[in-house]
């Protein structure tokens, strides 16, 4: 399999952690791919018309995207448990994946607004709205922090990637101050070799 | 079940079409919920910390989001075929769902930039980039237009919602001019009662 990737994308990281946990890393060839909302990458567009990463090309030559679909596919290839097959554990995992993804979306839009967009065109209310969404998401994670313990499904992987991305891009946001129980869980989660092997650089 | 919804959201529409196709519409109570990227809706935030719709509360009182998770859940409740259970049909359906979702994301971001953001703060390169992503997505759909015929899975539902949203918000974009075979398929798809019952107003 080939994965179009960038080492700083939290959505790519979600896929890579899943691949580590599923024992599939050695079967994935990484293809470095820089993308931006303004400048499109033709190599990526050829596989994913949306021009976004991660995009996976399977051994059968089928292009799959986005990160959620790729994680479901990898779980299927490995007959794994990153995606619980049914019941409440499945819906909690998928719902928490959406929560982590939504937090990442907010953080990436903050990054675009405060780093990519020309300064005179930045809109403070938009930035405020995205930070409020991020705070709300962190509070939502904190409200169920006890339920994160001991899990290793796509929900906690996504939440960990989102928190790691905030630490990487917005350390001054200090999410841990809003979510002390989550911070305690995250301190333990960080020890996973899959998390250590995928730290953004 | 309760669904927080707005009649113009393409992501809500994806859920509602799925509910129609799965025979679950009568079991869903609709709760009108206006959301915006700037002003958050406390009733929605109470169920989905991200403050976005659609959000579903199951009969067991569990909150589920986003649209992908809700569609998977509804398919499971109905033991349906909107989400194919395995094999190539599954990956095509989920990949096409991501393609339709990505097209909707681009269209919604265009809407925010050109309608919600104050005019002096609009950035033409961002708008151009999102329209290019939309054109690229439409071309990607066109490249596989023959494979859309006869399907009724979440992939074609998502693509139909995206194209319907473009027709609703950006008729001047004229996606059909880029994708004549897709336009022919869409003309037939539109006849589905589920599509007619969920037209944005």
Say if residue A30's pLDDT is above 90: yes
A51-62 pLDDT per residue, tens: 999 999 999 999
Report yes or no: A131 at the B interface, CB cutoff 8 Å.
Answer: no
Nearest CA of chain B to the CA of A38: how many Å?
Answer: 5
H or E, element range at A180: helix A180-189
Per-residue pLDDT tens for B26-54? 999 999 998 887 778 999 999 999 999 99
What domains are there in chain A, each with its CATH number? 2-77 (3.40.30.10), 87-193 (1.20.1050.10)
Q: Is B68 on the interface with A (CB under 8 A)?
A: yes
Q: Which of A106, A123, A130 has its CB closest to that of B118?
A: A123
* Candidates A39, A50, A98; nearest CB to B99: A50
Q: Where are the alpha helices (DSSP H) in A78-153?
A: 87-111, 124-143
At residue B50, the 3 state secondary structure works out as coil
Q: What is the pLDDT of residue A84?
A: 98
- pLDDT for residue A128: 95
Taking only the tens place, the pLDDT of each residue in B84-136 is 999 999 999 999 999 999 999 999 999 999 999 999 999 999 999 999 999 99
Out of B50, B66, B140, whose CB is closest to A49?
B140
Pairing of strands A63-64, A55-57: antiparallel
Listed residue (B153, B166, B182) closest to B22, CA to CA = B153
Select from A15, A91, A130 the residue whose CB has the most chain B CBs within 10 Å, as the one to mutate to test that interface.
Answer: A91
For position B39, what pLDDT does the model report?
Answer: 79
**Cβ of B85: how many Cβ atoms within 10 Å?**
10
Q: Which of residues 85-114 of B touch A (CB under 8 A)?
A: 86, 88, 91, 94-95, 97-99, 101-103, 106
Rounded-to-integer distance, Cα A152 and Cα A194, Å: 11
Nearest CA among A56, A43, A42 for reference residue A11: A56
Reported as a single tens digit per residue, the pLDDT across A62-111 is 999 999 999 999 999 999 999 999 999 999 999 999 999 999 999 999 99
> Does the ipTM exceed 0.90?
yes
Q: What is the pLDDT of residue A34?
A: 87
């Amino acid at each position: 399999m080939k994965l179009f990737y960038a080492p700083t994308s939290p959505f790519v990281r979600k896929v890579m952690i899943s691949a580590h946990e599923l024992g599939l890393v050695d079967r994935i060839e990484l293809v470095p791919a820089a993308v931006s909302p303004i400048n499109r990458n033709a190599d990526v567009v050829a596989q994913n018309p949306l021009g976004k990463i991660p995009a996976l090309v399977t051994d059968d030559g089928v292009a799959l995207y986005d990160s959620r679909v790729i994680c479901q596919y990898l779980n299927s290839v490995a007959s794994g448990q990153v995606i619980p097959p049914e019941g409440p554990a499945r819906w909690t995992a998928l719902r928490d994946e959406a929560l982590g993804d939504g937090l990442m979306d907010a953080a990436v839009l903050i990054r675009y607004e405060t780093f990519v967009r020309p300064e005179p065109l930045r809109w403070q209310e938009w930035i405020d709205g995205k930070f409020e969404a991020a705070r709300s998401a962190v509070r939502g994670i904190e409200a169920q922090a006890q339920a994160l313990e001991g899990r290793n499904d796509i929900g906690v992987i996504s939440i960990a990637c989102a928190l790691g991305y905030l630490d990487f891009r917005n350390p001054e946001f200090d999410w841990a101050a809003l979510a002390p129980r989550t911070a305690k869980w995250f301190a333990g989660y960080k020890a996973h070799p899959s998390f250590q092997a995928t730290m953004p650089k």
